[in-house]
A and B are shown apart, each in its own frame.
Chain A
Amino acid sequence: MLELATQSLLTPAGIDSGDIERALGRLVEGRIDLGDLYFQHRQNEGWSLEDGIVKSGSFSIDQGVGVRAISGTGTGFAYADAISMPALMQAAGNARAIARAGASGATAVTRPVHAPALYAADNPVEAADSASKVDLLRTIDAYTRSLDARITQVSVSLSCQHESILVAASDGTLAGDVRPLIRLDVRVIAEQGDRRESGNAGGGGRYALAGLMAPESWQKFADEAVRQALVNLEAVDAPAGFMKVVLGPGWPGVLLHEAIGHGLEGDFHRKGISAFSGRMGERIATEHCTVVDDGTLAERRGSLSIDDEGTPGARNVLIEDGRLTGLMQDKLNARAMGVAPTGNGRRESFAHLPLPRMTNTYMLPGEHAPEEIIASVDDGIYAVNFNGGQVDITSGKFVFVASEAYRIKNGKLGAPIKGATLIGNGPDVLTRVAMVGNDLELDSGVGVCGKEGQGVPVGVGQPTLRIDGLTVGGTQ
């Protein structure tokens, strides 16, 4: 990986290891605790179909180098949108404005990081030609329209990304990664009488494009989008109030991402502003709950061989049998808290600063069959699909928005209900988990997490869960 990244990022610009050390040396003149250089080259290709025609396609190349200098918990940051020695040296000069005046530092990149290959060795931009990508979208459109006469609009989009990154840091780190990322989305509108509803489904990951182009992959997304829209045509008004909620497996794990995941990111703990601050080792969930953040899963959307600071991706146990056991850290916050980085230092691009971020966050399975969990609820809702969520780290309040849900009465599923926001409190929601299913699923690969204006791809997952009390934001 490091060799490949070096070839695609540094060799074309004529930058060698001596130049890297020279730039790091300039960066750490003065009192700097850590300096790093982040080289990135990213290709994006997108195709989209609407009204039966592939009407737009786009291609972009972004490359540049981000330069960071850390002194204590202060960061100086600059970047250049070209990879060249003059641009690199100028950015290094700007970034070290954070430094207090002092002696010149010497630095050497002596610690090459070798990480396992977790992704397909495939550049999805080049793995198939444009004509076959266009054909794929048209085939999906025809298939989707054939599923039900009530489908009046279909849109399909395919995006392919391929990036190379290289990190060199004054702590000796030298690491590279080559990351593919693909995604396919199908969105439909269904109409019946005067009702109109939408449905959408999609997925992807860091796997070979051929996997996504295979009919057994995309047909699932098309079938699911249509099914959802048709279910929503029948949906009745959602209830309002505090009640038992059963969450389906897979993507509803967005609950974990919002309710506890963000609150366990190291920066919020270093600053003491998380609702979970100071609670390490305490019971924050029922004993049924074990939650991990795992960047090492093969080919998943949130996976990382190395993070954006050159730390190898890792499997970190956040909650074990109900107790808070781990936080997610980048280098700055780990150093300030006197712990090791955990492989969660991520950035949207060279033009953004690294932050502690999630990778793939999920709960391990329990022992109950999902049917048994639904049958145990007298009055509540069963929510199987979500749009996304949001959290206030400090108060702990979080929301996530159901897009497909059903009423449960006397242990039986009733009518589908309209989309509704569910709201709860992070520090106590997992203390209300009464049953955990044996059906762990990870999501299909569509998550984008936003923090401080930076979006990064993530994964979530969980088994079926019964939560004894969330506020459901319906109208009835």
Chain B
Amino acid sequence: MSQVMNRDIEAGSPLLRDAESERAMLEDAAARVLARARAGGADAAEVSVSSSHGRNVTVRLGEIDVLEDARDRGVSVTVYINRASGSASTGDLGAESLERAVDQALAIARHTQPDPAGGLAPAELMASRIEDFDQWHPRELDMASLIERAKLIEQAGMDADARIENSEGASVSADAAIGIYANSHGFVGNGRSTRFGQSCVLVARDASGMQRDWDWDDQGRFEALADPGITGRKAAERAVRRLGARSAPSGRTPVLFDNSVALGLVRHLVGAVSGGNLYRRSSFLLDTVGKQLFPEWVRIDEEPHLPGGARSSSFDSEGVATRQQPLIEAGVLRRYVLGSYSARKLGLQTTGNAGGVRNLVFSPGTKNFEELVVEMGRGLVVTEVMGQGVNLVTGDYSRGASGFWVEDGRIAYPVEEITIAGNLGEMFSGLIAAGSDLETRRNIQVPSLLVDGMTVAGQA
């Protein structure tokens, strides 16, 4: 195999070898698009251009399952004519294809209706400095070394426990991406980042049946990835501990969301205070800036400039300068999450959140996970939720769940095929404690959260 690979795949990645000329090519494409838009009668225009290269290998039961080499480029353009907009995109950065995309966007803008809130973000809010947040750590990794790492991960998991009897495989990936955003204010911003990931999904079996679980890591630097053995063993441990799961007692109980599931609760908060849902009146948190949504000890900050942060950037997706700012302070909602469009719809200022939040950090508490279990005493630990049962219009929350039942401050047994239900507004105000176990590998960083008084339904 290595013979074939040496001749072909290892020819290498132009994006990694020569990121500067790739960036110059993308900037040139962006400039062509803006020029064509102006020439075609647009009052304003904006364009995003990206290029990425990824390699991903999956090994299953010691054999190669998938080797993937993914190279993508893309451009998307939005033009404005008398405040009417049109958008187009294409995956081909050839001159002809770019021109066609712009012409299509212009044709669409002649049919859409003028939108008083439409247009670019205000010129005076454009980021004036593009900083480097330590997100580019290129490393050419050949397929053979990715395969070897995936095998180590899986083998460590298979060896960890006799009850691990099957595998969905271990994967290792290396990705690099460069992006440009430019608009007719003259703003041109660029960003580039590398990401390295590994994961392992294992299947445990005993007399009670089969259970599957996984572990993962994701880092900007290859060297920062967890030891392969750790990822494999944790996947095994997580699958095995689910064996023998049964239903839980129905009724009202406290629920401890582990830090992976607690992230979802913060995402629902962000969704409900995002401009799009607010101006569409599709949120249970209309008119809540300055209101107490959480207990006083809760603080959530947006930190768009975190060094090495997964989504750190000096500018948002319409060029507006991002800034460090609180979202929740002393439990009170300080602001909404707005881009310029939704800000105009609401008669407010953009918060530099076009394209969403960058890095959010929920200030952790002082108790570790085990101490939170003790504090809960009796109730449910949730390690996984299923389904789309969250209604942001009303805040009603009803999800399938699995995890562990807790008695006397200790984990008693694994549970599955249960539901947890409540209302997000009450869940937020009913937060009892946050753990010290902040999950820092995601752009929204959240610790485990203990919530009072949800309804659990099961067959027991």
Give the interface of A toward B (CB within 8 A): 29-30, 47, 50, 53-64, 72-82, 93-101, 130-131, 133-134, 152-153, 155, 189, 191, 196-198, 238, 240-242, 271-273, 275, 351, 353, 387-390, 392-395, 397-401, 418-421, 423-425, 471-476
Tell me if B212 counts as interface (CB < 8 A to partner A). Answer: yes
User: Which residues of B are found within 8 Å of A50, using beta-carbon distances?
Assistant: 280
Tell me if B124 counts as interface (CB < 8 A to partner A). Answer: no
- What are 5 sample pairs from A and B whose C-beta atoms fall under 8 A apart? A54-B113, A134-B111, A273-B203, A425-B417, A471-B418
Complex Cα–Cα for A421 and B94 (A): 48
With contact pairs A54-B111, A399-B400 given, residues A198 and B67 touching in the complex (Cβ less than 8 Å): no
With contact pairs A390-B387, A399-B386, A474-B455 given, residues A423 and B418 touching in the complex (Cβ less than 8 Å): yes
Complex Cα–Cα for A62 and B100 (A): 13
User: Which residues of B are found within 8 Å of A54, using beta-carbon distances?
Assistant: 111-113
* Shortest beta-carbon distance from A236 to chain B in Å: 12
Contact string against A for B residues 393-412, beta-carbon threshold 8 Å, 1 for contact and 0 otherwise: 11010111010000000000
Which of these, B113, B211, B400, contacts A53 with CB under 8 Å?
B113
Which of these, A57, A77, A275, contacts B112 with CB under 8 Å?
A57
Which of these, A56, A397, A471, contacts B386 with CB under 8 Å?
A397
Residue of A nearest to B416 (CB): A397
Would you list which residues of chain B between 296 and 343 have a CB under 8 Å from chain A?
Answer: none
User: Which residues of A are found within 8 Å of B281, using beta-carbon distances?
Assistant: 152-153, 189, 191, 196
* Shortest beta-carbon distance from B389 to chain A in Å: 4
Residue of B nearest to A26 (CB): B8
User: Which residues of B are found within 8 Å of A471, using beta-carbon distances?
Assistant: 247, 417-419, 457-459
Which of these, B4, B69, B209, B417, contacts A423 with CB under 8 Å?
B417
Residue among A99, A389, A423, A476 having the largest count of chain B Cβ atoms under 10 Å: A423
Would you list which residues of chain B between 53 and 93 have a CB under 8 Å from chain A?
Answer: 60, 63-73, 76, 85-92
Residue of B nearest to A274 (CB): B210
CB <8 Å contact, B212 and A394: yes
Contact string against A for B residues 1-34, beta-carbon threshold 8 Å, 1 for contact and 0 otherwise: 1011101110000000000000000000000000
* Shortest beta-carbon distance from B251 to chain A in Å: 8
* Shortest beta-carbon distance from B343 to chain A in Å: 15
User: Which residues of B are found within 8 Å of A56, using beta-carbon distances?
Assistant: 85-87, 112
Instruction: From B102-110, B175-183, B366-374, B434-442, give the one contacting chain A.
Output: B102-110
User: Which residues of B are found within 8 Å of A77, using beta-carbon distances?
Assistant: 66-69
Q: With A73-B63, A473-B399 given, can you name 9 additional A-B contacts, CB distance below 8 Å?
A: A56-B86, A57-B87, A78-B69, A96-B4, A130-B111, A196-B393, A273-B203, A395-B245, A398-B386
Complex Cα–Cα for A400 and B88 (A): 35
* Shortest beta-carbon distance from A156 to chain B in Å: 13
Q: Tell me how many residues of B have a C-beta within 8 Å of chain A.
A: 83
Tell me if B255 counts as interface (CB < 8 A to partner A). Answer: no
Would you list which residues of chain B between 136 and 161 have a CB under 8 Å from chain A?
Answer: 143
CB <8 Å contact, B419 and A153: no
* Shortest beta-carbon distance from B264 to chain A in Å: 13
CB <8 Å contact, B457 and A419: no
Tell me if B430 counts as interface (CB < 8 A to partner A). Answer: no
User: Which residues of A are found within 8 Å of B67, using beta-carbon distances?
Assistant: 74-77, 97-98
In order of increasing CB-CB distance, the 4 nearest A-B pairs are A473-B419, A399-B400, A399-B387, A394-B212
User: Which residues of B are found within 8 Å of A351, using beta-carbon distances?
Assistant: 70, 72
Complex Cα–Cα for A240 and B401 (A): 14
Complex Cα–Cα for A95 and B70 (A): 10
CB <8 Å contact, A53 and B386: no
Complex Cα–Cα for A398 and B401 (A): 10
CB <8 Å contact, B280 and A392: no
User: Which residues of A are found within 8 Å of B250, using beta-carbon distances?
Assistant: 240-241
CB <8 Å contact, A97 and B143: yes
CB <8 Å contact, A96 and B108: no
CB <8 Å contact, A474 and B398: yes
* Shortest beta-carbon distance from A261 to chain B in Å: 16
* Shortest beta-carbon distance from A225 to chain B in Å: 13
Tell me if B429 counts as interface (CB < 8 A to partner A). Answer: no
Complex Cα–Cα for A62 and B92 (A): 8
Complex Cα–Cα for A397 and B414 (A): 14
Residue of B nearest to A420 (CB): B398
User: Which residues of B are found within 8 Å of A155, using beta-carbon distances?
Assistant: 280
Complex Cα–Cα for A81 and B50 (A): 13
User: Which residues of A are found within 8 Å of B85, using beta-carbon distances?
Assistant: 55-57
CB <8 Å contact, B115 and A389: no
Which of these, B5, B282, B422, contacts A97 with CB under 8 Å?
B5
User: Which residues of B are found within 8 Å of A424, using beta-carbon distances?
Assistant: 417
User: Which residues of B are found within 8 Å of A389, using beta-carbon distances?
Assistant: 387
Tell me if B420 counts as interface (CB < 8 A to partner A). Answer: yes
Which of these, B63, B76, B166, B459, contacts A272 with CB under 8 Å?
B166
With contact pairs A399-B400, A471-B417 given, residues A96 and B8 touching in the complex (Cβ less than 8 Å): yes
CB <8 Å contact, B92 and A392: no
Complex Cα–Cα for A275 and B393 (A): 36
Complex Cα–Cα for A58 and B168 (A): 39
User: Which residues of B are found within 8 Å of A100, using beta-carbon distances?
Assistant: 1
CB <8 Å contact, B386 and A271: no
* Shortest beta-carbon distance from B414 to chain A in Å: 11
Complex Cα–Cα for A81 and B66 (A): 20
Tell me if B421 counts as interface (CB < 8 A to partner A). Answer: yes
With contact pairs A134-B111, A240-B421, A474-B421 given, residues A196 and B394 touching in the complex (Cβ less than 8 Å): yes
User: Which residues of B are found within 8 Å of A55, using beta-carbon distances?
Assistant: 85, 112-113, 115, 118
CB <8 Å contact, A421 and B419: yes
Contact string against A for B residues 210-236, beta-carbon threshold 8 Å, 1 for contact and 0 otherwise: 111000000000000000000000000
Complex Cα–Cα for A56 and B72 (A): 26
With contact pairs A57-B112, A423-B417 given, residues A394 and B387 touching in the complex (Cβ less than 8 Å): no
Residue of B nearest to A83 (CB): B92
With contact pairs A99-B4, A419-B391, A421-B419 given, residues A94 and B87 touching in the complex (Cβ less than 8 Å): no
Would you list which residues of chain B between 95 and 139 have a CB under 8 Å from chain A?
Answer: 97, 100-101, 104-105, 107-109, 111-115, 118
Complex Cα–Cα for A29 and B3 (A): 12
CB <8 Å contact, B87 and A475: no
Which of these, B60, B108, B416, contacts A57 with CB under 8 Å?
B108
Which of these, A58, A74, A95, A96, contacts B87 with CB under 8 Å?
A58
User: Which residues of A are found within 8 Å of B398, using beta-carbon distances?
Assistant: 238, 401, 419-421, 473-475
User: Which residues of B are found within 8 Å of A82, using beta-carbon distances?
Assistant: 92, 94
With contact pairs A155-B280, A273-B168 given, residues A98 and B64 touching in the complex (Cβ less than 8 Å): yes
User: Which residues of A are found within 8 Å of B100, using beta-carbon distances?
Assistant: 61
With contact pairs A97-B8, A272-B166, A420-B398 given, residues A401 and B210 touching in the complex (Cβ less than 8 Å): no
Residue among B86, B108, B242, B282 having the largest count of chain A Cβ atoms under 10 Å: B108
User: Which residues of B are found within 8 Å of A271, using beta-carbon distances?
Assistant: 60, 166, 168
Complex Cα–Cα for A101 and B416 (A): 47
With contact pairs A72-B63, A473-B421 given, residues A273 and B210 touching in the complex (Cβ less than 8 Å): yes
Complex Cα–Cα for A55 and B111 (A): 9
Which of these, B66, B91, B166, contacts A64 with CB under 8 Å?
B91
* Shortest beta-carbon distance from B22 to chain A in Å: 15
With contact pairs A98-B64, A395-B211, A472-B419 given, residues A59 and B104 touching in the complex (Cβ less than 8 Å): yes
